[in-house]
Amino acid sequence: MVPNFTRMPLRIYSTASPITSPRQESSAWALPTLSKSIILCSVLGDGRDGLRYEAQVKVVSDWPNLLCDNRHSGGQLPQPWRAPRRSLWQASVEGSVRSAPILYDGLLYVSSLAGFLNAIDTRTGKVRWRFKTTAPIHSTPSLNSGKVLVTCDGGTLYAINSSSGTKTWDVPTGAEVWTSAIVSEDTIFFGDTSGHMQAVSSANGTLQWKRALGGKIYSTACIAGQRVFVGCSDGRVYSMDAKSGDILWKTLTGDGIDSSPAVAKETLFVGSLDYFFYAIDTVNGAIRWQHEAELGITSSPAISGDLVVFGCKAGVLRALNIQTGKVIWAQRLGQAITAPPVISGSTVWIQSGITYALNLADGNILWRARLGNSLQSAPVVTQAAVYLSSMEGDVYALA
């Protein structure tokens, strides 16, 4: 039997002044905890009514993979939009959800640590179908030509029909896979915990190449042109030829890399557990600049225009100029930030126990919501709704 859904009430609270200094230790406000309820607050202009915020949000009908696209940009074209005021539905899936959902043709795909891939109807919140794998799923699914691609800890890559939930094919990977699969030109790329990057055919899973790197891979790769970029637990960032798997360059950081890189303007952006965030030349691997955070960085970055936004384990979200690395703003949110931010026009969305929306220009908190007790994955933001998942196995649609 597939899980049911419930429609949740919405409660709105007034806002308080946010903390703008990343060095400040105490919280400026306390958010009440309500079990299984949603708390929202937002700001309009000078905040006098405390109920509405006019923002610009990306135009999205589908969200096919982690951070929306192969470059992991986390942002698209802006469109006028209002902050959510109500819950459309809440669905429960079996097992905790650590990965971000994806969206395609009216279905939201959510994987869980119970080993299920779930397809949820975005209109009703009902689970349309679910597919059981052999092991927990830590990765975000990906879409390709009517197939949902998902990897699992049992060492298998699955291709599932996106409409029916039936298996098209599966292939053994030889090791646990915690990373998401990405697709370019009919080839699927993913890394595994034995330290191999692999490329297989999207048609049937046939292996095209397999390349040993220097450590375990927990970083989901990104693609720009004919190059695949990925971080590794040996502290290196690798650039590989997408056709052959040949290593074009590798750049050493001071510790392991769990963060998934993003690409913009011939620059690769990635965080390391050594506390530093790096901007690396995609052509030759030279470090263009680096910025030190308070603690290690596992949060993958999102990019909009000349800004790159990322969080760190100290609970600080910051925006840097992509050309110089200069800090534009920094906002302390409290809990460790491990999830990637999502940029929707002029708004940054981030989940760090609480769900936040911040002004992209200055980092001020515009909106916040508590849904359950643990949210550590990236949301999906569209014109119609914001979709979020939690470690408690709950999936939410807000509008």
Predicted local confidence at residue 353, as pLDDT: 84
390/370 Cα distance (integer angstroms): 11
Residue spans per domain, the chain: 5-398
Q: Give the DSSP letter string of 368-388.
A: EEEESS---S--EE-SS-EEE
Predicted local confidence at residue 383, as pLDDT: 80
Order across the sheet with 116-121: list the strands.
102-104, 107-111, 116-121, 127-132
pLDDT in tens, 168-191: 999 999 999 999 999 998 999 999
Of the candidates 307, 316, 345, 292, the residue with the CA atom closest to the CA atom of residue 18? 316
12 has a pLDDT exceeding 60: no
220/140 Cα distance (integer angstroms): 9
Average pLDDT for 32-53: 33
Establish how many alpha carbons lie within 13 A of residue 339's alpha carbon, considering only the half-sphere containing its beta carbon. 31
pLDDT in tens, 245-276: 999 999 999 999 999 999 999 999 999 999 99
243/279 Cα distance (integer angstroms): 25
Which of 225 and 17 is assigned the larger pLDDT?
A: 225
Q: Which residue, chain included where needed, has tokens 């292939």?
A: 171
Q: Which residue, chain included where needed, has tokens 């049937």?
A: 204
Q: Give the DSSP letter string of 147-180.
A: EEEEEETTTEEEEEETTT--EEEEEE-SS---SP
363 has a pLDDT exceeding 80: yes
> Is residue 391 classed as helix, strand or coil in its secondary structure?
coil
Which of 83 and 67 is assigned the larger pLDDT?
A: 83
361/367 Cα distance (integer angstroms): 15
Of the candidates 387, 381, 392, 379, the residue with the CA atom closest to the CA atom of residue 100? 379
Q: Give the DSSP letter string of 225-289.
A: TTEEEEE-TTSEEEEEETTT--EEEEEE-SS---SPPEEETTEEEEE-TTSEEEEEETTT--EEE
Predicted local confidence at residue 206, as pLDDT: 98
Q: Give the DSSP letter string of 67-123.
A: TSSTT------EEEEE---SEEEEEE-SS---SPPEEETTEEEEE-TTSEEEEEETT
Which of 318 and 105 is assigned the larger pLDDT?
A: 318
Residue 289's φ and ψ, nearest 5 degrees, are: -160, 165
How does residue 344 score in pLDDT terms, banded at 50, 70 and 90?
A: confident
111 has a pLDDT exceeding 50: yes
Predicted local confidence at residue 11, as pLDDT: 38
Average pLDDT for 58-73: 53
57 has a pLDDT exceeding 50: no
Averaged pLDDT score across all residues of the chain? 83
Predicted local confidence at residue 24, as pLDDT: 30
Predicted local confidence at residue 345, as pLDDT: 84
| pTM for the structure as a whole | 0.84
Of the candidates 246, 219, 2, the residue with the CA atom closest to the CA atom of residue 124? 2
Predicted local confidence at residue 83, as pLDDT: 80
Range in 41-45, 216-220, 361-365 the model is least confident about: 41-45
Order across the sheet with 380-381: list the strands.
5-6, 87-92, 394-398, 386-389, 380-381
68/64 Cα distance (integer angstroms): 6
Amino acid at site 358: L
Range in 141-155, 284-298, 351-365, 378-392 the model is least confident about: 378-392
Residue 239's φ and ψ, nearest 5 degrees, are: -115, 130
Average pLDDT for 97-108: 92
Chain mean position to CA 197: 20
Predicted local confidence at residue 349, as pLDDT: 93
Average pLDDT for 59-88: 61
The sign of the torsion formed by the CA atoms of 334, 336, 342, 343 equals positive
Please identify, in words, the CATH class of the domain defined by 5-398: mainly beta
55 has a pLDDT exceeding 50: no
Report yes or no: 267 and 322 within 8 Å, Cβ to Cβ: yes
How does residue 334 score in pLDDT terms, banded at 50, 70 and 90?
A: confident
Average pLDDT for 145-152: 94
How many C-beta atoms lie closer than 10 Å to residue 82's C-beta? Answer: 13
Report yes or no: 173 and 157 within 8 Å, Cβ to Cβ: yes
